[in-house]
Structures are given as structure tokens and as C-alpha cells.
Amino acid sequence: MLKIPEHQVAGHHASNGTLGPLIDDSGRFYKPLQGDERGSAEAAFYKQFSSNTQIPDHIRKFFPIFYGTQVMTASDGSEHPHIVLQDLTSSRLNPTIMDIKIGSRTFGHEASDAYIAKCLKRDRETTSLQLGFRISGLQVYINDESGFYKPPRDDVLKSGLDDVRFLFRRFVSSNLAPAAVPQELEANAALASNVYGGTDGILAQLLELKAWFEDQTMYHFCACSLLFMFEKRLALEGVRPNAQVKIIDFAHVTEGKGVIDHNFLGGLCSLIKFISEVLGDCEEHKTDQEGDS
């Protein structure tokens, strides 16, 4: 039983004449191969990566499990090749998700003039060049009646530095209102220590990835994204909310040729600094309150 995934916050959707992403009941995600060389590049990456014995287990867990490729038949009988992956949200109820494209630049050093020009324009229009990453999309669970806060993709991409700071706080806020209210009321970041902090929180996972990126010289992860996910209902109850970081979208991965991926690593370090600051602010705030009581 295949259906359209509910929790995709960025990336490609179905359009006329294509079959979009699908999920099944057994926890698999069917990602359509993009028609040009990107689709085959991503499938080739997954094949190579899944059999690469040099990837330590504590790093492999950041990547979706790869089940192969499969041709899917649409209702009109047309055939569409898909990459079959682990559905990262299948075991989650109402996941809160953020998609962050990492890197100050989204093109490889051997890209063509035209491709560089296109990517550089986008990297300058968004926060990529300034911050080393850009938020590509997010959904934050509010409650069962209101569903999710999920701003339009184009609005998210127009974020500036202050918006990004705000979104990292809002992502872990307990007081999200369904309707528009002044933003400063909506970002108490109350869940930060439960989601970003702790030995299994998002920051700890980012630091684990960072240590690998300081050393690995096999791949350059151009234009890849990190997904942050957690279950907000658990976080609100004070339970550990199953916070996870995953790395996705490998259509532009290139060979590292013995050089570290300094573009991804730099962006990752910048992201770590932003998350650390939200966490630091909240812990300072807590200490102040304890001091007052």
C-alpha cells in the first residue's frame, strides 16, 4: 500500500508527468530518480556507500538505509525508476522536522561555469554564503487541532541571519501559537535542553559528525542536507524526544580525492555554533531563574 509522504519539508515533489516520492507500510521511502544525471549520481552514491567498509557504524547511522532501486508503475501505466530508502519518519508520530542544506557553496570545484553561476546566485540570495548553510524547510508540530506550523518554502529560503536565529529557537519552543502572533512571543526555546542538549541530543550528534568530517577524505557532500527530527509531544512531557540528525540528498556528491570536505565541515561548524548559542542562552536563563528563586 503506497501513499504520498506527509512529512517532507523540502526537496522535489510530484509534478505533471512524473511520479513523486512514495512511502509504504513497511517503512520504506521511494524517492524518484531525478531524470537527468542527478538521479543516476544519487543511486550510484547509495550503492557505493552502502558497500563501503570504511564507514564506521556510528557514522553510517546518520545515513538512510538503502534498499536498492525499483521501477514503479504509475496509474497510467508509465514506469518510473525510484531509489528505495528507509522512511525516516515512519516510526514517528507528528514529527517536528527541519531540513538544512549545508555548505557555503553548493557546487563542486570541478563544476561547469554555468552550473557554478546558477548555484552561486542561489547561495548569495539565501544565507548559504554568509552562514555556511541555509534552512530549506521545516515543520513544527503545534497540536492535533492545528497540526503543523509549516511556512512556505520560498519564505523559508528568504530567511536572513536574524530569521535563522529565530527559527532555531522556534523549532524547540513550547509555545507555538497556531495563528500569527508577534514572533517574540513564540520562541521561548523551552525544549532546547531536551532536544539540542544531552548526550543523545542534536548537538552531540552534530559533534560526532564533525569529528568524522575532520578526518574523512572519501566524499565531498556538495548540496547535501541535514535533517533534524524529534517528537514534540514527548519533549513537552519532559521525556527524551528521540532527537535525530540524518544526512540526505546525494545527487551532487563528488570524490574527495584525499582532501577533507572543508565546505561541508565549515558549514557544519557554523551550524554547531548557532545550536550551541540557543542551548547556552536557555541554560543561562534557567540558572538565572534558579538564582532568583
Tell me if 112 contacts a second copy by CB under 8 A: no
Tell me which stretch binds a second copy (CB under 8 A): 17-25, 60-68, 144-152, 262-270: 262-270
Tell me if 217 contacts a second copy by CB under 8 A: yes
The nearer residue to a second copy, 187 or 229, going by C-beta atoms, is 187
Tell me if 65 contacts a second copy by CB under 8 A: no
The nearer residue to a second copy, 73 or 217, going by C-beta atoms, is 217
The nearer residue to a second copy, 51 or 112, going by C-beta atoms, is 112
Residue tagged 495563528 (cell numbers): 179
Residues 153-182 that bind a second copy (CB under 8 A): 161
Nearest to 209 by CA among 165, 245, 162, 155: 245
Q: What residues pair up with 253 in beta bridges, in sequence order?
A: 221
Handedness of CA 220, 22, 151, 64 (dihedral sign): negative
Q: Are strands 253-255 and 28-32 parallel, antiparallel or unpaired?
A: unpaired
Identify the residue among 39, 64, 95, 132 touching a second copy (CB under 8 A).
Answer: 132
Whether the Cβ atoms of residue 283 and residue 193 lie closer than 8 Å to each other: yes
Tell me how far apart the alpha carbons of residues 34 and 114 are, in angstroms, rounded to a whole number: 19
The nearer residue to a second copy, 56 or 160, going by C-beta atoms, is 160
Interface with a second copy (CB under 8 A), residue total 27
Q: Give the DSSP per-residue string, 143-178.
A: ETTTEEE---HHHHHT--HHHHHHHHHHTT-S---S
Identify the residue among 19, 100, 131, 190 touching a second copy (CB under 8 A).
Answer: 131
The distance of closest approach from Cβ of residue 258 to a second copy in the complex, given in angstroms and rounded to an integer, is 7
Tell me if 114 contacts a second copy by CB under 8 A: no
The strand order across the sheet containing 22-23 reads: 22-23, 28-32, 79-86, 66-73
The distance of closest approach from Cβ of residue 106 to a second copy in the complex, given in angstroms and rounded to an integer, is 13
Nearest to 188 by CA among 164, 171, 204, 163: 171
Tell me if 60 contacts a second copy by CB under 8 A: no
Integer CA distances (angstroms), 199 to 27, 88, 206, 242, in order: 27, 21, 11, 12
Residues 30-59 that bind a second copy (CB under 8 A): none
The nearer residue to a second copy, 182 or 258, going by C-beta atoms, is 258
Query: At 34, which helix (H) or strand (E)?
Result: none
Tell me which stretch binds a second copy (CB under 8 A): 139-147, 174-182, 210-218, 234-242: 210-218
Tell me if 130 contacts a second copy by CB under 8 A: yes
Tell me how far apart the alpha carbons of residues 288 and 293 are, in angstroms, rounded to a whole number: 9
| Chain contacts with a second copy (rule: CB under 8 A) | 104-105, 109, 116, 120, 124, 129-132, 161, 214-215, 217, 257-260, 262-263, 265-267, 269-270, 272-273
